[in-house]
């Protein structure tokens, strides 16, 4: 504890950071709440000196907006699919990596590589892999040439090529591509965290389990997973939060169109909705949507924490 | 269940990549553990005692040699099929399970014909808990238990399967001094009650001496001596064993045998008629000294340590291998250390002579 005489020094050291945080973090949060409750708030109109009435209009507008429900649905669906799949896959990969001796370091590096790659670039590669026709922004009349490696593989095994992301593709196909891409993108960080957790588990628990003749599956479910539960909780909670903020990955695959060429915005998410509102100068509506998103994330995280309190063994 | 270890050897590849030399952890260990006995594997750290225990458990495979439980050769058998119970040094209790779940865990792993009904399992767990006296702790988590209680849970978990052999790795090393005394009695009692052949590893000679039926003293992978604790203490095979057993430790002097007499420095302390002339190392147990104004061994006293029943006289001698020598004398005898010299007579059966080169014991006839 610094004695009170010298506390002013500490305040001086902290001042630049506090000033920046007040201007660029605290005020925007307060301002978002303010704008959300001002009817039809728009930055342009505000600059022109217009006054806005207080009210809940922005929220009703958001909810009644044509695309809002689909944005919410996309966001929730992506979360609900990708979080469990990526967590379970990451767990299995981490456990396997932890079990091997030779090549462990090399494989660890390979599994971590996607993390250091730009996700838009990865998205474009995925788009190319799932492509079905010559050009990405295809039209109905374009000649269909199977170009993507995924369809090549499907055809190699005698299957029918699938229209994943191009003109006329189905919502289910689009969503499948998104889930594969997001899971793949989310794996490296989770593997890293879980592997770190695994390596800190005392080996004697496994020796004890061996002496007790514990079958492998039971070792995983009764020993590894509970001992890893703090890491698992961390991974699940953060990936739900990331999931609700999903946006870049859609841009990565579909571009700004946020959907196949014939149905723009089909895969738009909550964050995408907020950006769209901002680009039409409807800051009030964007703020209201941001608060709704915040409320959803808050509730989901509280539920997560509630569950983890019972399930996590520190 | 009798356990037979036959020429057991374990080598590890060297950590140093440049040299291909192997590290020999255990070398040619042969020993028969009689049925229902408590055996202490004793030695300084790195002597191979834990490796031996882990080979008996099956967690480590011997490089050569065989292990028998009774008449069954279990050398190739995996751990879970050997029917052993193992208590780890830090207990390795599953932290997320209650005491009851921990004890039930090995039973729940049983498959096929061995599978017990739920009630039988609970019954067995209760019995194991009663045996180690932790029945009232069944719903607690290991983190809510003291070290001694965790130890008991670990023993209960090892016993619940009714193992043929119980193995304990440094069972008392994580306990404080008082608990250690109590727990070692407890281990003795449990072993007596269950009559399970038990092997435990320790570096604490007092611990091994106090509860074992037999001890095995090891050094650098090689068995130095086996036998009943008292026999090994009274008849150490070499200098290492003599030094390793006993608190306070044995006093070591360099000496020589000349003309049938044993000299420490210039003092002729004992007649040893059948020992040929040579330079020797002499070990004298602290209780082997007798205060005697006419005694042959002359030491310079420095201070007296009072330990209640006994006192220990700390003195120096020019031929001693250690800075001070300790003798234990009955507290009734008043000792005056203001004197220049304290003179001792020696109890011949507390004096051991060792070859200077091989450190092996040189026997001598006590007249």
Reported as half-sphere exposure (CB side, CA atoms, 13 A), residue B159 has a value of 24
Q: Does residue A261 carry a pLDDT above 60?
A: yes
Per the rule left: phi > 0, alpha: psi between -120 and 50, beta: everything else, A149 is alpha
Q: Which residues of B touch A215 (CB under 8 A)?
A: 109, 111
Does B90 contact A218 at a Cβ distance shorter than 8 Å?
no
Nearest to B256 by CA among B284, B283, B282, B280: B280
Banded model confidence at residue B310, pLDDT cuts 50, 70, 90:
confident
Q: What is the mean pLDDT of the segment spanning B219-241? A: 93
Mean pLDDT of B363-367: 76
Q: Give the pLDDT score at B17.
A: 67
pLDDT confidence of B242, banded at 50, 70, 90?
very high
In the structure, what pLDDT confidence band is assigned to residue A255 with cuts at 50, 70 and 90?
Answer: confident
pLDDT on residue B312: 87
C-alpha distance from A264 to closest chain B C-alpha (Å): 50
pLDDT higher than threshold 60 for residue B300? yes
CB contact B105 to A (< 8 Å): yes
- For residue B303, give the nearest of B333, B336, B332, B331 by alpha carbon: B336
Inform me whether the pLDDT recorded for A132 exceeds 90.
no
CB spacing of A215 vs B109 below 8 angstroms:
yes
Residues in B touching A218 (Cβ below 8 Å): 109
Mean pLDDT of all residues in A229-255: 91
Kindly identify which residue of chain A lies nearest to residue B157, measuring between CA atoms.
A212
Confidence at residue A145, expressed as pLDDT on a 0 to 100 scale: 60
Mean pLDDT estimate for chain B: 88
Nearest CA in chain B to A223: B94
Measured in degrees and rounded to the nearest 5, phi and psi for residue A32 equal -60, -45
Percentage of chain A modeled with pLDDT above 90 = 49
Among A197, A201, A206, A213, which would you mutate to test the B interface (most chain B Cβ atoms within 10 Å of its Cβ)? A213
Average pLDDT over residues A2-24: 88
C-alpha to C-alpha distance for A86 and A68, rounded to whole angstroms: 27
A101 to chain B: which residues are within 8 Å by CB? none
Instruction: Compute the 3-state secondary structure of chain B and give helix, strand, coil in percent, each to the nearest 5.
Output: 30, 35, 40
Residue pair B254/B267 in contact (Cβ under 8 Å)? The answer is: no
Lowest mean pLDDT among A122-126, B96-100, B177-181: B177-181
The sign of the dihedral angle between the CA atoms of B183, B186, B187, B188 is positive
Does residue A135 register a pLDDT over 60?
no
ω before A160 within 30° of 0 (cis)? Answer: no
Q: Count Cβ atoms within 10 A of the Cβ of residue B283 and give its class: 0-12 exposed, 13-18 middle, 19 or more buried.
A: buried
Cα B234 from Cα B347, distance rounded (Å): 12
Strand partners for A54: A38
Mean pLDDT of A231-243: 92
**pLDDT greater than 90 at residue B338:** no
- Residues in chain B with CB shorter than 8 Å from the CB of A223 are 94
Q: Which of A159-163, B82-86, B267-271 holds the top average pLDDT? A: B82-86
pLDDT in tens, A143-197: 556 568 888 888 889 888 888 888 888 999 999 999 999 999 999 999 999 999 9
Interchain CB distance below 8 Å, A218 and B109: yes
Minimum distance, in Å, between the CA of residue A111 and any CA atom of chain B: 29
**pLDDT tens per residue across span B161-219:** 889 999 999 888 888 888 888 888 888 988 998 899 999 999 888 888 888 999 999 99
Among the ranges given (A31-45, B82-96, B321-335), the one the predictor scored with the smallest mean pLDDT: B321-335
Residues of B in contact with A222 (CB under 8 A): 94, 105
Q: Is B86 on the interface with A (CB under 8 A)?
A: yes
List, in order, residues 6 or more apart from B105 with CB less than 8 Å away: A212, A214, A222, B94, B97, B157
CA gap B127, A127 in Å, rounded: 64
Q: Rounded to whole angstroms, how far apart are CA atoms B241 and B239?
A: 6
Closest CA to A94 of A237, A242, A228: A228
Q: Is the pLDDT of residue A136 over 50?
A: no
CATH 3.40.50.300 fits B3-243, yes or no: yes
Rg of chain B taking only CA atoms, in angstroms? 25
Interchain pair A227, B95: CB under 8 A: yes
The CATH number for A42-311, chosen from 1.10.3720.10, 3.40.50.170, 1.10.10.10, 1.20.1090.10, is 1.10.3720.10
Q: Is B232 exposed, middle or buried (0-12, 13-18, 19+ CB in 10 A)?
A: buried
- HSE (side-chain half, CA atoms, 13 Å) at A232: 25
- Considering only CB atoms, which chain A residues are within 8 Å of B96? 226-227, 229, 313
The pLDDT of residue A21 is above 90? yes
Over range A45-68, report the average pLDDT. 86
Name the average pLDDT for chain A: 87
Average pLDDT of the segment spanning A34-58? 86
Q: How many CB pairs under 8 A join A and B?
A: 55
Reported as type and span, the H/E element at residue B3 is strand B3-12
Section A74-92 average pLDDT: 95
Judge whether residue A212 has pLDDT over 70. yes
Helix (H/G/I), strand (E/B), else coil: B222: strand
Query: CATH 3.40.50.300 region(s) of chain B?
Result: 3-243
pLDDT digits (tens, 9 = 90+) for B118-176: 898 999 999 889 888 888 999 999 999 988 899 889 999 999 988 999 999 988 888 88
DSSP B21-66: PPEEEEEEEEEEE-TT-EEEEE-STTSSHHHHHHHHHTSS--SEEE
User: Which of chain B's residues have a Cβ under 8 Å away from the Cβ of A210?
Assistant: 59, 79-80
Q: By three-state DSSP, how is residue B203 classified?
A: coil
Q: Which among A207, A211, A215 has CB closest to B84?
A: A211
For chain B, positions 3-62, list CB contacts with chain A under 8 A: 57, 59
- Residue A140 pLDDT: 56
pLDDT range class, residue A198, cuts 50, 70, 90 = very high
Are A90 and A194 spatial neighbours (Cβ–Cβ below 8 Å)?
yes
């Amino acid at each position: 504890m610094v004695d009170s005489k010298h506390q002013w020094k500490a305040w001086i050291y902290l001042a630049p950071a506090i000033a920046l945080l007040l201007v660029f973090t605290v005020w925007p949060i307060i301002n978002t709440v303010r704008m959300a409750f001002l009817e039809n708030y728009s930055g342009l109109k505000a600059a022109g000196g217009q006054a806005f009435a207080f009210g809940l209009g922005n929220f009703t507008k958001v909810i009644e907006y044509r695309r809002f429900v689909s944005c919410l649905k996309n966001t929730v669906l992506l979360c609900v699919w990708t979080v469990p799949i990526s967590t379970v896959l990451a767990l299995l990969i981490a456990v396997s990596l932890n079990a091997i001796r030779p090549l462990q370091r090399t494989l660890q590096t390979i599994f971590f590589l996607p993390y250091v790659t730009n996700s838009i670039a990865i998205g474009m590669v995925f788009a190319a892999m799932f492509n079905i026709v010559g050009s990405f922004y295809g039209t109905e009349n374009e000649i269909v040439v199977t170009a993507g490696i995924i369809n090549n593989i499907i055809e190699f095994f005698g299957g029918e090529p699938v229209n994943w992301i191009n003109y006329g593709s189905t919502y289910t196909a689009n969503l499948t591509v998104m889930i594969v891409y997001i899971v793949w993108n989310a794996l490296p960080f989770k593997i890293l965290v879980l592997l770190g957790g695994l390596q800190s588990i005392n080996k004697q628990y496994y020796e004890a389990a061996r002496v007790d003749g514990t079958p492998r599956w039971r070792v995983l479910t009764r020993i590894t997973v509970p001992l890893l539960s703090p890491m698992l909780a961390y991974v699940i909670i953060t990936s739900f939060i990331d999931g609700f903020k999903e946006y870049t990955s859609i841009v990565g695959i579909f571009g700004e169109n946020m959907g196949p060429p014939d149905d723009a915005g089909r895969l738009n998410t909550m964050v995408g909705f907020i950006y769209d509102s901002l680009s039409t100068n409807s800051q009030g509506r964007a703020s209201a949507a941001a608060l709704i998103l915040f409320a959803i994330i808050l509730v989901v995280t509280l539920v997560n924490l509630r569950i983890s309190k019972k399930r996590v063994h520190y | 269940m009798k356990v037979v270890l036959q020429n057991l050897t374990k080598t590890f590849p060297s950590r140093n990549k440049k040299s291909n030399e192997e590290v020999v952890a255990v070398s040619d260990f042969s020993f028969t553990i009689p049925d229902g006995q408590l055996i202490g594997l004793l030695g300084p750290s790195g002597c191979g005692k834990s490796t031996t225990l882990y080979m008996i458990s099956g967690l480590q495979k011997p490089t050569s040699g065989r292990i028998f439980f009774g008449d069954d050769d279990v050398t190739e058998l995996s751990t879970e099929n050997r029917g052993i119970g193992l208590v780890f040094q830090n207990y390795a209790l599953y932290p997320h399970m209650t005491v009851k779940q921990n004890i039930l865990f090995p039973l729940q792993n049983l498959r096929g014909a061995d599978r017990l009904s739920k009630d039988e399992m609970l019954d067995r767990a209760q019995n194991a808990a009663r045996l180690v006296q932790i029945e009232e702790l069944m719903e607690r988590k290991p983190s809510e238990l003291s070290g001694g209680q965790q130890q008991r849970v670990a023993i209960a978990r090892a016993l619940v399967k009714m193992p043929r052999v119980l193995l304990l790795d440094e069972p008392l090393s994580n306990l404080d001094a008082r608990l250690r005394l109590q727990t070692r009695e407890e281990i003795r009692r449990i072993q007596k009650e269950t009559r399970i052949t038990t092997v435990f590893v320790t570096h604490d000679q007092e611990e091994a001496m106090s509860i074992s039926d037999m001890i095995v003293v090891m050094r650098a992978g090689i068995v130095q001596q086996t036998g009943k604790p008292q026999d090994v203490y009274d008849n150490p095979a070499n200098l290492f064993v003599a030094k390793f057993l006993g608190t306070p430790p044995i006093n070591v002097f360099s000496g020589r045998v000349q003309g049938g007499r044993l000299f420490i420095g210039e003092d002729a302390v004992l007649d040893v008629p059948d020992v040929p002339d040579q330079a020797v190392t002499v070990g004298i147990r602290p209780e082997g000294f007798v205060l005697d104004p006419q005694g042959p061994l002359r030491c310079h006293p420095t201070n007296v340590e009072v330990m209640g029943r006994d006192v220990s006289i700390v003195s120096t001698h020019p031929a001693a291998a250690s800075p001070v020598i300790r003798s234990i004398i009955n507290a009734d005898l008043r000792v005056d250390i203001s004197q220049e010299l304290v003179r001792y007579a020696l109890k011949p059966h507390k004096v051991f002579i060792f070859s200077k080169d091989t450190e092996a014991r040189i026997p001598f006839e006590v007249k």
